[in-house]
Each structure stands twice: as structure tokens, then as C-alpha cells.
């Protein structure tokens, strides 16, 4: 019996903490943002026998297998209160490190991308010829980014950057024309590394996920090799850092070429069950 079918027979209780990066960064979602997240949670198709724990549930999931979108301390505490089993999880310090944008930046930085730790460095980075994207250290679902063009630095950009620096480094990346969004998912289980099939993602203008499907023949052999190499490097780095569990890497094709590693998501993601053939 597969682990997925076994879990389905037993029942699974999920904490879908889709904004785990906010917690890892020491912040909190507003009430309005939480309500929007509830709408997203309800839209996620889970298998029979899987259910989502509501906030505040106590002793309602005894005997069920507990799973988290990302096993942050708050998510594990919610599982404990619900009565579901609590899975082994990496320390929160490891979760913070491997989900921070710099972890992927160190492995495969986009040419001209810079990690900035003070406001002068950010301003100088955006004064280079070109169009730029500013990213906070911990981002998700298209949040925590800002567009800046050379010579158009504003007071709002300054304020956004100063707030962002309180959360960690700010990453300044060239704004390229993306033609194809690609992901590759897997799971680290002890010495075993499971790998799924490449998926192609659709996102909106703000970078928020819309849908995913398994890639057919859209990637060239060179792109497939580059993606797999980046995945293997990411898996080794994650394991060395002390991470285990589900993860995925994002990549993209742009007008200037193929970038095989733009982000590492050390958690579940919306495209994970597509690429892995189920939860």
C-alpha cells in the first residue's frame, strides 16, 4: 500500500499555513489578508479523507495524521491542539534559512542580481541602466516585491526598502521578459530523494499562482538538464542545511535564455501535487 493511500484510509488533517513566510519573518497577516487566505485554502483540491483544520480547533482531529503546508512552530502547535499526530520537522531556524531568497541566490544567481543590506546599496543597484525588481528576503504568492526603473527612485521606494531591510536583505534583480514559468518538485526523506515531473505554471501580472500542468515537450534537452542539475544542487544544499520534507524549485525561460533556479520553496506548493502525482 502506498503512503498516500495509507494516509487516506487513516485520514489527514492539514494546517494550510499558506503565509508561512510571514511567520518565519516575524510578522502577522492582517484580518483581511487572513480572510483572503481562507478563500485560497477552500480552493485547494484535497483527496478524500483529507481535511483542513480551521483556526482554533481543539481535539477535533484525534487519530488523524497531521500535515503542514510548512511546519512552522505555530502550525505544529495547531496540530497538537487539534489532537492530530505531529510530524517530525526541521527547526524553525532551518526553515527560515532555506526559504530566505538568499539560499537560492547563492546557488544560481541571475546575472546582475545583487543582495543588498542597506539603503545606499539598494539605491545604487537601481541606478544601474535597466529595469529592476526588488524582493524582500521572504516572499510568497507574488508578495514582497516592487518594481523600480532607473532614474525613477521615489520616496515610496525609499520607505518600502527601509521597511523591507528590517526583515532582512533586499534582492535587486533585473526585470526580464519571462516566456515560461517552470517548477520541479521533490521530497527529502532521510537518504532518499524523490523527484517529480517538471510542471509549467500560469501566474497573473503580480506573480500569483493560477494553475499548473505537467510539462510535455516544451523544454529543450539543455533546459531539462539545467533544471535537473539545479534541482540536485538545491536538494544537496537543503539536506546539508538540515532540511527534510517537501520542496520545489522555480525556474523560467526569458528572452535572454533559461534561468534554472529563481526560488527554492522548502515546503509544499500549489504545483506540488501536480508534479508529484498527488499529495
- Which of the four pLDDT bands, split at 50, 70 and 90, describes residue 8? very low
**How many whole angstroms separate alpha carbon 157 and alpha carbon 148?**
8
Domains, the chain, in order of start with CATH, read 3-89 (no CATH), 114-174 (3.30.1490), 177-276 (3.30.470.20)
- Which of the four pLDDT bands, split at 50, 70 and 90, describes residue 75? very high
pLDDT at 9: 47
The Cβ of residue 154 has, within 10 Å, a number of other Cβ atoms equal to 9
pLDDT at 209: 80
pLDDT at 27: 87
Q: Does residue 206 sit in helix, strand or coil?
A: coil
Cβ proximity of 156 and 103 under 8 Å: no
Ranges 17-21, 137-141, 260-264: which has the least confidence: 137-141
pTM exceeds cut of 0.85? yes
pLDDT at 4: 42
Cβ proximity of 198 and 183 under 8 Å: yes
**How many whole angstroms separate alpha carbon 132 and alpha carbon 109?**
15
Averaged confidence pLDDT in the chain: 92
The answer, yes or no, to whether residue 250 has pLDDT greater than 80, is: yes
**How many whole angstroms separate alpha carbon 210 and alpha carbon 200?**
11
Closest listed residue to residue 29, CA positions, set 14, 41, 18: 18
Task: Write the DSSP symbol of residue 108.
Answer: S
Grid cell listed for 65: 495524521
The answer, yes or no, to whether residue 7 has pLDDT greater than 60, is: no
Mean pLDDT of 124-152: 93
pLDDT at 142: 76
pLDDT at 6: 43
In sequence order, the 6+-apart residues with CB closer than 8 A to the CB of 139 are 21, 101, 145
**How many whole angstroms separate alpha carbon 235 and alpha carbon 247?**
9
The tens digit of pLDDT for each residue in 156-196 reads: 999 999 999 999 999 999 999 999 999 999 999 999 999 99
Strand 209-214 and strand 199-203: pairing?
antiparallel
Grid cell listed for 31: 484580518
The answer, yes or no, to whether residue 2 has pLDDT greater than 80, is: no
Cβ proximity of 251 and 182 under 8 Å: yes
Mean pLDDT of 83-109: 97
pLDDT at 3: 41
The tens digit of pLDDT for each residue in 39-51 reads: 888 889 999 999 9
Amino acid at each position: 500500500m502506498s503512503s498516500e493511500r495509507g494516509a487516506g484510509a487513516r485520514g489527514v488533517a492539514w494546517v494550510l499555513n499558506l503565509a508561512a513566510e510571514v511567520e518565519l519573518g516575524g510578522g502577522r497577516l492582517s484580518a483581511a489578508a487572513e480572510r483572503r487566505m481562507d478563500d485560497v485554502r477552500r480552493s485547494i483540491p484535497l483527496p478524500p479523507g483529507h481535511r483542513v483544520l480551521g483556526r482554533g480547533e481543539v481535539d477535533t482531529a484525534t487519530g488523524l495524521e497531521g500535515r503542514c503546508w510548512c511546519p512552522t512552530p505555530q502550525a505544529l502547535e495547531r496540530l497538537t491542539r487539534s489532537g492530530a499526530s505531529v510530524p517530525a520537522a526541521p527547526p524553525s531556524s532551518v526553515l527560515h534559512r532555506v526559504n530566505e531568497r538568499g539560499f537560492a541566490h547563492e546557488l544560481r544567481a541571475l546575472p546582475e542580481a545583487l543582495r543588498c543590506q542597506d539603503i545606499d546599496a539598494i539605491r545604487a543597484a537601481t541606478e544601474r541602466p535597466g529595469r529592476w525588481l526588488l524582493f524582500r528576503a521572504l516572499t510568497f504568492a507574488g508578495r514582497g516585491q516592487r518594481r523600480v526603473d532607473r532614474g525613477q527612485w521615489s520616496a515610496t521606494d525609499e520607505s518600502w526598502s527601509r521597511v523591507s531591510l528590517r526583515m532582512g536583505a533586499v534582492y535587486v534583480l533585473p526585470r526580464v521578459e519571462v516566456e515560461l514559468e517552470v517548477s520541479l518538485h521533490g521530497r527529502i526523506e532521510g537518504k532518499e530523494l524523490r523527484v517529480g515531473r517538471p510542471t509549467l505554471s500560469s501566474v497573473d501580472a503580480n506573480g500569483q499562482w493560477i494553475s499548473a500542468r505537467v510539462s510535455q515537450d516544451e523544454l529543450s534537452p539543455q533546459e531539462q538538464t539545467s533544471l535537473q542539475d539545479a534541482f540536485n544542487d538545491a536538494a544537496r544544499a537543503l539536506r546539508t542545511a538540515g532540511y527534510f520534507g517537501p520542496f520545489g524549485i522555480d525556474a523560467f525561460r526569458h528572452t535572454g535564455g533559461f534561468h534554472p533556479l529563481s526560488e527554492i520553496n522548502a515546503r509544499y506548493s500549489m504545483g506540488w501535487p501536480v508534479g508529484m502525482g498527488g499529495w
